Amino acid sequence: MILTTTNSIEGFKILEYKGIVSGIAVNMQKMSISFNMEKYYAGISESMSQVKEQAFQELQNHARKLNANAVVGIKVDMEVTVNNCITVSVTGTAVSVA
Domain ranges of the chain: 2-97
Question: Which has more pLDDT, 41 or 52?
Answer: 52
The pLDDT confidence band at residue 20, using thresholds 50, 70 and 90, is: very high
Q: What percent of the chain is modeled with pLDDT above 70?
A: 92
Q: What is the pTM of this model?
A: 0.85
Tell the burial category of 87 from Cβ atoms under 10 Å away from its Cβ (0-12, 13-18, 19+): middle
33 pLDDT exceeds 60?
A: no
Domain boundaries 2-97, CATH class:
alpha beta
Work out the percent of the chain whose per-residue pLDDT is above 90.
Answer: 69
For the segment 33-42, the average pLDDT, to the nearest whole number, is 70
